[in-house]
A and B are shown apart, each in its own frame.
Chain A
Amino acid sequence: MFYREAGDFKTSYREDSQTFPIKFDRLRFYAVLAVAYGVIPLLINDYWASAVFVPFLIYSIAAIGLNILVGYAGQVSLGTGGFMAVGAYACYKLMTAFPEVSIFIHVLIAGGITAAVGVLFGLPSLRIKGFYLAVATLAAQFFLVWLFNKVPWFYNYSASGQINAPERSIFGVIVTGAQTSAMAKYMFCLIMLTIVAVIARNLTRGTVGRKWMAIRDMDIAAEIIGVNPLTTKITAFAVSSFFIGIAGALFFSVYLGAAEVGEAFGIQKSFLILFMVIIGGLGSIFGSFAGAAFLVLLPVLLKNLLVGTLGWPTDLAAHIELMIVGALIVIFLIAEPHGLAQLWRVAKEKLRLWPFPH
């Protein structure tokens, strides 16, 4: 009823291979874009930006990046926090070294540097597989965090060991530093997310994405039919790290403003983003958004409920929150191991037929 392909005729190859082939899908996509660009920026205030929207946008970028590696290419990585730290510190060094260059360029270059580091740590994936690889990527996590802690050059020899984002602007609008308006933060992250999502979506449905999926499903078989495992795995690590690096750069410069590496980019961050990918749905761009939204909103809701409504002490609420998050993750995995994206697919299938049963 709401959602169907009947009567939606394609008269050119271009139309046939567009991103959203079904008209209803396409309209919905434009509607979401219109709300995101046209409505939310007008209504947003500091609380909503810093508690919900900006973290959601940034985590979505990171989740898309990790989903490419884990969901599409099948290489489990626990080094996300470390790679985000690379993006953050690269961005910081660039911002302080070349203040006259636009921060937009800096964020992209930070992503590029992260991609190079990601490739370096991705090389062992040619030999190591499965859980051995997952644990091996922890080497990246711990080594990188240690490196940024111990080498003063990375934090410009500041006494506290922290990095602080200086004030930078794009086209006269301040986007980093203490003076930034909620709307500027939101719009900057939103534009980056749109770029990342469009690139990711188109990569995953083209040749590159199909190669990734072939390697994921069975790497030996893929090799036999002519997929080069070296270039495929390396491109997966490079693209994934590029996005994660962008997310790290934004997380530090726009969201946090000041960061201490162990705290902001520790192992917990790696797990958090992996959870987003799994709860959202492996191998789905929509799933990355859904997972990020779920895990950003859940703690905010729980905190409001436990501390705000019931008035419990904050430390107790934090522990209960941990319990609920853990339990929800387990329940989720039992109820729908393919994540929110699968629920969405089922819902769409139902809507296609509604109100008829078959």
Chain B
Amino acid sequence: MPDQLLYAMEVTLNGLMAGVMYALVALGFVLIYKASGIFNYAQGVLALFAALTLVGIQQGQVPFAHLINAVTGLHVSSFGFTVPSILAILLTLGVMVLLAIVIEKLVLKHLVNQAPIILFMATIGMAYFLEGFGDVMWGADIKTLDVGLPQGISETVESMTDSIFGYGFFIDNLDIVATLVAVALVAALTLFSQYSKQGRALRAVADDHQAALSVGISLRFIWILVWSIAGFVALVAGIMWGSKSGVQFSLSLIALKALPVLMLGGFTSIPGAIVGGLIIGVGEKLFEFFAGPLIGGATENWFAYVLALLFLVFRPQGLFGEKIIERV
């Protein structure tokens, strides 16, 4: 087989893996949008916050150390013990649930029935706040996150492809793990929403708020639930992205990577988030591979958006979005 084709195949595979990572973030968006009609810009920052909290707990950092030092003149930085990964993840999950409750009580409760743009702006405000809060709480330096996930090149894939094509593919172990985790996550979410009582209530709310209210479903509980789940998805995404590229401010920008995925897949569809993620992942990697060298590279920043834009012109509700019916 010609080298170019092999490289393209490798790029495609890597694109699929990257697409899974995008889909992980997009999932959180879809969940919240479906259940509350809120376009949650803060999802990326939630992932950053989750990852920061996880690292902080793992390494036994003193929260707000920087602030305490500035106000009192002390020099505290850590408690001097480390917490095992599993326990730290569980504690972080608790923090995310707490955060969901606080968001519902302090923000969402007061914004019921506002225009979608107002809610969207409120989530941007929350994103600013959480970003500052995460930095004040845990410090703004770049941290490495290690929860024991395998890292580096997958040798099995390399030797396997080497024996078939005579060229070893270069694939990160972490990406393979991320794919497996994403599959498990989607399966769990599907099972939860199809077969549990809360899941059914969730779908009822997504279908029709007022009808759900009238049969006795507590909207506020559902909102807390859905933000907690979004927090959990953010934590998973934070662990994956954090292990891959370190925990730092740029982690919150993955929200921007997830937006075109959402547009392509439709804001209201979980399978759409996955398929959209894969299309975007493969598309931008292949475009960068073929056209990048010709037009100066770094096309990954905008290609996804332009692709989604062109796609939407032909199908305004995305691939799997609900058909937009307009009445006067």
Contact = CB atoms under 8 A, between A and B. Distances in A.
A344 to B, nearest CB: 18
Interface stretch (A32-40, A44-52, A142-150, A233-241): A142-150
A136 B125 contact: no
B129 A333 contact: no
B216 to A, nearest CB: 28
A298 interface: no
A316 B326 CA distance: 49
A333 B296 contact: no
Interface string A260-295: 000000010001001100100010000000000000
Interface string A221-243: 10010000000000000000000
B132 A323 contact: yes
Given A128-B313, A319-B135, A143 B305 contact: yes
Interface in B128-181: 128-133, 135-136, 140
B256 A330 contact: no
A135 interface: yes
A150 B117 contact: no
A329 interface: yes
Interface in B274-322: 295-299, 301-302, 305-306, 308-309, 312-313, 316-318
Contacts of B301: 142, 145-146
Contacts of A128: 309, 312-313, 316
A130 B116 contact: yes
Contacts of A150: 295-298
A138 B255 CA distance: 12
Interface string B252-271: 00001001101100010000
B42 to A, nearest CB: 10
Report the interface size class on chain A.
35 or more
Task: Please report whether the interface of chain B is mostly helix, strand, loop or mixed according to DSSP.
Answer: helix
A326 B126 contact: yes
A351 B88 CA distance: 58
A329 B121 contact: yes
Contacts of A334: 107, 110-111, 122
Contacts of B296: 150-151
Nearest to A131: B39
B118 A326 contact: no
Contact of A267 (B107, B120, B136, B256): B256
B131 A322 contact: yes
Interface string A73-90: 000100000000000000
Given A224-B328, A267-B256, A323 B316 contact: no
A142 B304 CA distance: 10
A278 B130 contact: no
Interface of B: 39, 66-67, 70, 106-107, 110-111, 114-118, 120-122, 124-133, 135-136, 140, 256, 259-260, 262-263, 267, 295-299, 301-302, 305-306, 308-309, 312-313, 316-318, 324, 326-328
Contacts of A129: 316, 324
Given A135-B259, A139-B308, A146-B301, 19 more contacts: A131-B39, A135-B260, A135-B308, A136-B263, A136-B312, A138-B259, A142-B301, A221-B328, A312-B70, A322-B135, A323-B133, A326-B125, A326-B129, A327-B125, A329-B125, A330-B106, A330-B125, A334-B110, A334-B111
Contacts of A278: 117-118, 121
Nearest 9 pairs between A and B by C-beta? A326-B128, A326-B129, A322-B132, A329-B125, A323-B132, A139-B305, A142-B302, A150-B296, A330-B125
A325 interface: yes
A64 to B, nearest CB: 18
A12 B66 CA distance: 67
A330 B316 contact: no
Contacts of B259: 135, 138
Contacts of B313: 124, 127-128
Interface string A117-134: 000000010011111101
A337 interface: yes
Contacts of A134: 120
A339 B135 CA distance: 29
B113 to A, nearest CB: 10
A206 interface: no
Contacts of B128: 322-323, 325-326, 329
B132 A337 contact: no
B305 A136 contact: yes
A315 interface: yes
A30 to B, nearest CB: 34
Contacts of B120: 131, 134
A327 B129 contact: yes
A305 interface: no
B111 A333 contact: yes
Contacts of A221: 328
Contacts of A323: 128-129, 132-133, 136
A319 B121 CA distance: 20
